[in-house]
Amino acid sequence: MPRKKKVIPDLSTEEKIKEAARKVFLKKGYAAARTRDIAEEAGINLALLNYYFRSKEKLFELVMVEKMQKLLGVIAGTINDESTSLEEKLQLIASHYIDMLTANPDLPLFVLSELRSGSEHLIKRFQFGGMLLKSSFFKQLQEKRPDINPLQLVLTLLGNLLFPFVAKPIFQAVGNVGQKEFDAMMADRKILVPKWMKAILKSK
């Protein structure tokens, strides 16, 4: 009896589906997105999409994990670097985050909205909380301000970096801020946010 021929995945088709899924999920979110929408975006039929990815859930998880890695992973190396000072870490985190979010402006709102919709189990996969608590950055914050819970300082830092991108539509509508002006403001925050954090760390 002839051996069944093994099907070799077409990586270009698989990548097309992933790219289409990224666009559809970012635009519509998990609940509103349909596999038919993704197939149409990828320019393939639904049967072929189902051949590569058995369910919408599996495809969404792949995209969501990728987005989480982008959002949380951008500072992983920085916070664990014992050779840099606290001030240097603040500058690097601000610069890395703003560069990444400028290139991916819809990312924070997408991740936050999907986490609120029941995808919080995915964040546990990264064990970011444990990594942060054991990091050189966390220890430096504790040493600098033993009277403040370091998580308060981390929340303040991330809030200053993430919130402008979440609130971007409000800025543009209320403040008449165009894309060029917004980008300039975010570039300024690479300098301003570390300065603000240093002021907080020195205040009593």
The confidence score (pLDDT) of residue 54 equals 82
Q: Which of 194, 195, 202, 196 is nearest to 97 (CA)?
A: 194
CA distance linking residue 171 with residue 177, whole number of Å: 6
47 burial (CB, 10 Å; 0-12 / 13-18 / 19+) is exposed
The confidence score (pLDDT) of residue 9 equals 47
The confidence score (pLDDT) of residue 139 equals 95
Domains in the chain (CATH in brackets) are 10-54 (1.10.10.60), 63-202 (1.10.357)
The confidence score (pLDDT) of residue 121 equals 59
The confidence score (pLDDT) of residue 148 equals 94
Angular region, 84: left φ>0, alpha ψ -120 to 50, beta rest: beta
Asked if 182 and 190 touch (Cβ cutoff 8 Å), the reply is: no
The confidence score (pLDDT) of residue 110 equals 79
Q: What's the distance, CA 159 to chain centroid?
A: 13
CA distance linking residue 97 with residue 109, whole number of Å: 15
The first and second tokens of residue 26, run together, are 């970012």
The confidence score (pLDDT) of residue 119 equals 58
3-state secondary structure of 190: helix
The confidence score (pLDDT) of residue 189 equals 96
CA distance linking residue 42 with residue 14, whole number of Å: 10
Return the percent helix, strand and coil in the chain, to nearest 5: 80, 0, 20
CA distance linking residue 49 with residue 30, whole number of Å: 17
The confidence score (pLDDT) of residue 203 equals 83
The first and second tokens of residue 139, run together, are 């220890």
Per-residue pLDDT of the chain (204 residues; tens, 9 = 90+): 444 444 444 558 888 998 999 889 888 888 888 999 999 999 999 999 988 888 888 888 888 888 777 777 778 889 989 999 999 999 999 999 999 889 888 887 777 777 776 655 556 665 566 778 889 999 999 999 999 999 999 999 999 999 998 888 888 778 778 888 899 999 999 999 999 999 999 986
